[in-house]
Amino acid sequence: MLEWLAVHFLIGVVGTWLARRYALHRSLIDQPGERRSHSVATPRGGGISIVIALLVATVAIGIRQPAQAPLMLAFGIGLALVAGIGWVDDHRPLSPWWRLAVHVVAAGLLALAVGDLHSSFTWAACTFIATLVLTNVWNFMDGIDGLAASQALLAAVGLSVWLGGGWALLALALAAACAGFLPFNFPRARIFMGDVGSGAIGYTLGALVALAATRLESRAALVLLPISVFLVDASLTLARRILRGERWWSPHTQHAYQAWARFSGHTLVTFAYAVISLLVILGSWLLTTLDSSFITGITVAWYTGCTFFWLGLQKKHAAPLS
């Protein structure tokens, strides 16, 4: 296990270092602006290291555990599609509708594989929704130093407890790769993960959420807890922008974490989100053996609390319209 973690951590470290050199050479730079949360020109695309680590893990698991190979193959193809369109977008901005179309195809491939494995349309639908939503949630929420990578690390560790065999290993590979990326992105970002990284991380977490849910069955609501702070912030901000008639697909700084970071700084906000997520994950592990109706009630109550937290942050640190 330690060797597994070490290998993927090193891929994260070395891959990010190389990606930074490549980004500087190709002038892949995110410039500061009113619709961005950073104030210094910063290279992008460092998330390719996490993608490589995940693809290495996928191949290794498929070889070691042949029974998992068909599902791993579907996941790997979907991951390559999401990361590929993100990599292209990092080099030459694409229409968001082209990106969404690729995300739909990738989510559909994994959904078909999961549905076939479990002979269940319900699990196929859940997989499709989870992967499509989280692919875009992680892209939306990748806006301040260290936030997306730290939240992915924690969520992956949290979900690994409910996953078995190869998928637990994949979750730990994601966590280790994010740990390797973080020194380049936090507390001061020397490179951003870019769409190649944020989309791939979201897609992977969507797969892990869906597969953990199939194992938990009636207690499946638990899988919503490790991703709760991201899911609430992204969903409510998106809903508000749609209701306002704004171009919801365009860059902006209206998320609660962005509003908070403007006043308190990236480091404090990333750390606070991490502490909240860590506590929620530890609590979710303790709930695993409890009655499913109680778990559902706790999950609804927590999401309600997160909603009020979001409202409080938005009221205290009002974000400009964009």
Structure tokens at 129: 């929704």
Please say if the pLDDT value at position 33 is more than 60. Answer: no
The confidence band for 186, taking pLDDT boundaries of 50, 70 and 90, is: very high
Q: Is a pLDDT exceeding 80 seen at residue 139?
A: yes
Least confident residue range of 34-38, 98-102, 103-107: 34-38
Does pLDDT of 35 surpass 60?
A: no
Helices 48-64 and 194-216, interaxial angle, to 10°? 40
Q: How large is the average pLDDT for residues 160-181?
A: 96
Q: Give per-residue burial for 299-309: e unless 16+ CB within 10 Å, then b.
A: beebbeebeee
Q: For residues 238 and 96, what is the distance between their CA atoms, to the nearest angstrom?
A: 15
Structure tokens at 146: 């260290």
- Grade residue 265 by pLDDT with cuts at 50, 70 and 90: confident
Q: Is residue 249 helix, strand or coil?
A: coil
Strand partners, 42: 30
In order of 28, 55, 100, 254, the CA distances from 92 in angstroms are: 9, 24, 16, 25
| CA–CA gap between residue 184 and residue 191 (Å, rounded) | 6
Please give the average per-residue pLDDT across 55-67, as a whole number: 95
CB 299 within 8 A of CB 223: no
The owner of tokens 């270092």 is 17
What is the predicted pLDDT for the residue at 39?
Answer: 57
Q: By percentage, how much of the chain surpasses pLDDT 90?
A: 72
- In sign, the C-alpha dihedral spanning 69, 74, 79, 81 is positive
Q: Can you tell me the mean pLDDT for 190-212? A: 96
pLDDT at 66 over 70: yes
Looking at residue 245, its pLDDT comes to 82
Residue 178 and residue 5: Cα distance in Å, rounded?
11
- Which amino acid is present at 314? Q
Q: 212 in helix, strand or coil? A: helix
List the structure tokens of 288: 């695993």
pLDDT at 52: 97
Mean pLDDT of the chain: 91
| Cis previous bond, 96, omega within 30 | no
Cβ contacts of 248 within 8 Å, gap of 6 or more:
238, 241, 242
Q: How far apart are CA 239 and CA 93, in angstroms?
A: 24
Q: Give residue 156's pLDDT band: very low, low, confident or very high (50, 70, 90).
A: very high
pLDDT one-digit tens code per residue, 295-313: 999 999 999 999 998 888 8
pLDDT(91) > 90: yes
For the full predicted model, state whether its pTM sits above 0.75. yes
